[in-house]
Amino acid sequence: MTFDVVIPTSGRPSLRATLAGLAEGAGPSPGRVLVVDDRRHRRGRLPLGEPEPHVRVLEGPGRGPAAARNAGWRAARSEWVAFLDDDVVPQCGWRAGLERDLAGLDGRIGASQGRIEVPLPANRRPTDWERNTAGLEGARWATADMAYRRSALAAVGGFDERFRRAYREDADLALRLMDAGFELASGVRRTLHPVRPSARWVSLRLQAGNADDALMGALHGRHWRRRAGAPRGRLPRHVAVTAAALAAAAGAVAGRRLPALAATAAWLAGTSELAWARIAPGPRTREELLTMVASSALIPPYAVLQRAHGRARLRRLLREPGPRPEPPAAVMFDRDGTLVEDVPYNGDPGSVRPMPGARRALSRLRSAGIGMAVVSNQSGVARGLLDVRQVEAVNRRVEELLGPIGPWLWCPHAPAAGCGCRKPAPGLVLQAAEALGVEPARCAVVGDIGSDVDAARAAGARAVLVPTARTRPEEVAAAPETARDLESAVELLMGRE
Q: How many CB atoms lie within 10 A of CB 220?
A: 17
Residue 394's contacts (CB-CB under 8 Å, 6 or more residues apart) are: 346, 347, 348, 349, 352
Q: Are 83 and 6 in contact (CB under 8 A)?
A: yes
Q: Are 34 and 75 in contact (CB under 8 A)?
A: yes
The verdict on whether omega for the bond into residue 281 sits within 30 degrees of 0, i.e. cis, is: no
> In degrees rounded to 5, what are phi and psi of residue 491?
-65, -35
What distance lies between CA 264 and its chain's CA centroid? 46
Written as one string, the DSSP assignment of 421-470 is SSTTSSHHHHHHHHHHT--GGGEEEEESSHHHHHHHHHHT-EEEE---TT
Q: How many CB atoms lie within 10 A of CB 43?
A: 6
| Side-by-side strand order, sheet with 33-37 | 55-59, 33-37, 3-9, 80-84, 145-149, 109-117, 183-192, 89-90
Closest CA to 26 of 99, 113, 105: 99
Q: How many residues in total does the chain contain?
A: 497
Q: How many CB atoms lie within 10 A of CB 232?
A: 8
Angle between the N-to-C axes of helices 450-459 and 427-436, in degrees from 0 to 180, rounded to the nearest 10: 60
The 10 Å CB-count burial string (b at 16+, else e) for 305-321 is bbbeebbeebeebeeee
Q: Are 19 and 85 in contact (CB under 8 A)?
A: no
Give dist(CA 301, CA 238) in Å, integer.
7
Give dist(CA 193, CA 198) in Å, integer.
14
Residues annotated as catalytic (active site), given as ranges:
334, 336
Give dist(CA 214, CA 314) in Å, integer.
8
Give dist(CA 76, CA 408) in Å, integer.
28
